[in-house]
Structure 1
Amino acid sequence: MKHFEANFDGLVGPTHNYAGLSFGNVASFSNASAVSDPKSAAKQGLKKAKALADMGMVQGMLAPQERPDLHTLRRIGFSGTDAEILNKAAKEAPALLRACCSASSMWTANAATVSPSADTRDGKLHFTPANLVDKLHRSIEPTTTGNILAATFNDPRYFSHHQHLPEQANFGDEGAANHTRLCGNYGDKGVELFVYGQEATNPAAPKPKKYPARQTIEASQAIARLHGLSEDNTVYISQNPDVIDQGVFHNDVIAVGNQNVLFYHQQAFLNTQNKLDEIQRKFGRSDVHFIEVPTSKVSIQDAVKTYLFNTQIITLPSGEMTIIAPTNCQENPAVFAYLNELVTLGTPITQVNYFDVKQSMQNGGGPACLRLRVAMNDMELAAVNQNTLMNEALFTRLNAWVDTHYRDRLSVDDLADPQLLIESRTALDELTQIMKLGSVYQFQK
């Protein structure tokens, strides 16, 4: 049986815009109110996904969510026709309208936490959608996220789907952006790392002072229980609160792992050495590589600006590891110099590939934000909805779909345009047919 890691990237939605909704995300705030290009954003994401498929990787796509979200606007008191609701919200509560128009589900690293069958008690692949309670525009995603995941991984013989965690602050959960897995081969039992920003039930524990800590240890522990993980293959690591206050809102902005490699910044964690020792002990092999990037070579500011750690580390069919990095890393002298040095250090990482995902980057998400990692075997892959897997035909069809339905210019003021809602619904209705997703959307007529 073959084992591998698949990447399921989020399709950028038709309402991709720069509303600056994410406090603590420096790029999101810095580009607030800029004019976006949804068509280019979607095509940049598709190009990256297709390139990975062409490298021999298993690559899937996850559908975007319906936006504007009229269901939420109705729940909070707006009434009338769709056009009347959009008009009223734009005049009376523009911040709420912007939240209900966000295309943030494109960042599927936040979609869910995934534990492969090699790690779980029942031998199934487990998914728990993130509740994303820290941000309004993301907290409206989990139910539809669960529907999309269930339509993609739709065979109960192999896949177990959990409801998102309770929507209370104690269980703030941001999904795979704060989770990574180390292993030998992908089919081996691995060590799952849960990185958290605060202990909600322990007021004395360290936490950031300026920006919110979005992931709690309580949420991480709950997911480990739901997924049937054992104590000997889980490690809980506290993020350094000082780096959260410098814009490191998720762990995947400061660390990333793949197989036997953990790539992280010197300032990423608290009690770093103790946690590395615990990982080494539970990993049970001597060939784990801890690659620490010193502050003297890459500052926190440069790491956040370029998303050096929000890169993908993938293992190619040849067995070599490569980094999938945004072109922003090429454009920063310190980061580019470090990556050029990294491939000479004798670690499993031997090359770097750069991709232009600037439309996503300007809104606060790099290559790793755009993908959900799913370690699986060939039997599990055969049980996946095959219409979601990237190939030449799907790439061509999705690009044509984007050309038909997406705008190439979208400002925050355009979000109240009733025609945008019609365009979005028309696009998603066709997408459900392309990807055979069934009734994942509940369009409000």
Structure 2
Amino acid sequence: MNHAFEANFDGLVGPTHHYGGHSFGNVASTSNAAHIANPRAAALQGLAKMKALADLGYRQGVLPPQERPALWVLRDMGYTGTDNEIIGLQANTQSGLFAGLCSASSMWTANAATVSPSADTADGRVHFSVANLTSKFHRSIEAPQTRRSLAAIFASDAHFTIHAALPQHAALGDEGAANHTRLSHAYGEPGTEFFVYGARFWGGQHAPQRYPARQTLEASQAIARRHGLAAERTVFAQQNPAVIDAGVFHNDVIAVGNLDVLFCHELAFLDAPAVYAELRQKQAGLQIIEVPESEVSVADAVRSYLFNSQLLDKGQGKQRLIVPEECRSTPAVWAFLEELQASGGPINEVLVFDLKQSMQNGGGPACLRLRVALTEREAAAVNPAVWMNDALHERLTHWVCRHYRDRLGVADLADPALLIEVRTALDELTQLLELGSIYPFQRDGSDA
């Protein structure tokens, strides 16, 4: 077995972070629409989490934000003129569309891609499938840049394969690692890849009625085929449609797993006993911690993002749970977590982080990171400039404080100065992270 570890690559919050309410089905996003955001605080909160985990000894990487506003989309739609003319026209006539094209949603890198480590894949390379995010317009435009960013960080063809997004169609709706969990005894051993889908596009009988199912079985199956995963170590399960209708838009809002532990709500899956039985059959020794509805309701789970947490290995069979501050302020959730730590089970430590700016837009600790299990040889092939350490944290903190506003509302997105601020910041960031010319404004202005 090759020695391996799990690295987390967190999304750096972008300068256009705002509350636009773009994500129907995400209760926090829609309920905070039109509130005033603080992009500087949002980015600094994310950096503080990255630095804290790096200080605990975890390998922590940084993924860059995307260029926004996405003016190339408007030019593809036939708009002409200078950048400022297009911004002015859009902001005054189709403000909702323009705000969507300014979304900083790429910060939630759990949606960037699905990742299978080399221990699981047929060709022995780490496979990334960029998510198409086809269910939401403001996110469906992310895939080309996501692929360029990943290619700049995981550039070695000998170790990494980065697949383009699946075709943009509802039948293949794919939301990335937010609906995927890998279970294993050790990161370097073959594991069980657990795909959770919201609905089956062809022939499905169970689907949510209030909110859309964003992940399809067909997309999950396609990714498993692409990555060369063995059927005997792959599980597909349907999310409970009732919890999607309660605001659980991704599986990582109702379940999280790491190594040989699955932490989930009792209502997470459509047929939980059958799901657990298949997981245990394919992943011997799996420990399932199921949270009863009687102790933590689905509503409290959504309100607090209890399950949108990070499970991190501490060694010797124990794990840390990284949760947002909202868990501590939700009485039933905090009472459960206190009991969990004292129970003698595998999760014996809870760390709390202030991620309010992200949380108010519907993304917690798990949303902000993409998990990548790597061997030491593979890690050596990663762009070294993106690994978090004291020096990078200091440089990025100064970068954020120089370039980010501390107040941004939807109306401010039409300020022509914002576009210049964003491009100036991102041009400097590509130098800090040694990414090359990855953004449209650094290329030919298009996103091709």
Counterparts of 1:135-214 in structure 2, within 5 Å, are 135-202=136-203, 204-214=204-214
Deviations 1:35-59 (A, max 9, x none): 0000000000000000000000000
- Unaligned stretches of 5+ residues in structure 2: none
SS of 2:440's equivalent? Answer: coil
Counterparts of 1:366-405 in structure 2, within 5 Å, are 366-405=364-403
**316-325 vs 350-359, which moves further:** 316-325
**8 Å Cα contact 2:252-2:366 kept in structure 1:** yes
Deviations 1:219-253 (A, max 9, x none): 00000000000101110000000000000000000
Residue 344 of structure 1: how far off its partner (Å): 2.1
**8 Å Cα contact 1:57-1:316 kept in structure 2:** no
Residue 73 of structure 1: how far off its partner (Å): 1.4
Quote the residue 2:262 is aligned against. Answer: 262
Are 1:428 and 2:390 counterparts? no
Quote the residue 2:100 is aligned against. Answer: 99
Q: Which amino acid letter does the alignment assign opposite residue 231 of structure 1?
A: A
SS of 1:257's equivalent? Answer: strand
Are 1:23 and 2:24 counterparts? yes
Residue 320 of structure 1: how far off its partner (Å): 3.0
- RMSD across aligned positions (CA): 1.0
Quote the residue 1:345 is aligned against. Answer: 343
Counterparts of 1:239-254 in structure 2, within 5 Å, are 239-254=239-254
Residue 310 of structure 1: how far off its partner (Å): 0.2
**8 Å Cα contact 2:279-2:286 kept in structure 1:** no
Q: Which amino acid letter does the alignment assign opposite residue 45 of structure 2?
A: Q
**8 Å Cα contact 2:130-2:147 kept in structure 1:** yes
Q: Which amino acid letter does the alignment assign opposite residue 66 of structure 1?
A: E
SS of 1:316's equivalent? Answer: strand
**8 Å Cα contact 1:56-1:316 kept in structure 2:** no
Residue 371 of structure 1: how far off its partner (Å): 0.2
**8 Å Cα contact 1:127-1:161 kept in structure 2:** yes
Quote the residue 1:235 is aligned against. Answer: 235
**8 Å Cα contact 2:18-2:104 kept in structure 1:** yes
Deviations 1:364-416 (A, max 9, x none): 00000000000111100000000000000100000000011000000000011
Quote the residue 1:11 is aligned against. Answer: 12
Quote the residue 1:292 is aligned against. Answer: 290
| Counterparts of 1:423 and 1:404, CA distance in 2 | 10
| Counterparts of 1:377 and 1:348, CA distance in 2 | 24
**8 Å Cα contact 1:56-1:317 kept in structure 2:** no
SS of 1:343's equivalent? Answer: helix
| Counterparts of 2:301 and 2:74, CA distance in 1 | 37
Deviations 1:245-280 (A, max 9, x none): 000000000000000000000110011111111111
**8 Å Cα contact 1:57-1:317 kept in structure 2:** no
For these two proteins, the number of residue pairs brought into alignment is: 442
| Counterparts of 1:60 and 1:214, CA distance in 2 | 27
SS of 1:61's equivalent? Answer: strand
Quote the residue 2:280 is aligned against. Answer: 280
State the TM-score, normalized to the length of structure 2.
0.97
Residue 350 of structure 1: how far off its partner (Å): 0.7
Q: Which amino acid letter does the alignment assign opposite residue 60 of structure 1?
A: G
| Counterparts of 1:319 and 1:209, CA distance in 2 | 40
Quote the residue 2:304 is aligned against. Answer: 306
Quote the residue 2:44 is aligned against. Answer: 43
Are 1:333 and 2:334 counterparts? no
| Counterparts of 2:206 and 2:106, CA distance in 1 | 30
| Counterparts of 1:19 and 1:77, CA distance in 2 | 24
Compared CA separation, residues 83 and 16, structure 1 to 2 (3 A) = same
Quote the residue 1:437 is aligned against. Answer: 435
| Counterparts of 1:227 and 1:152, CA distance in 2 | 19
Q: Which amino acid letter does the alignment assign opposite residue 371 of structure 1?
A: R
| Counterparts of 2:15 and 2:120, CA distance in 1 | 37
Residue 74 of structure 1: how far off its partner (Å): 1.1
SS of 2:342's equivalent? Answer: coil
Percent identity between matched residues is 59
Counterparts of 1:19-98 in structure 2, within 5 Å, are 19-98=20-99
| Counterparts of 1:9 and 1:54, CA distance in 2 | 15
Quote the residue 2:318 is aligned against. Answer: 320
Residue 77 of structure 1: how far off its partner (Å): 2.4
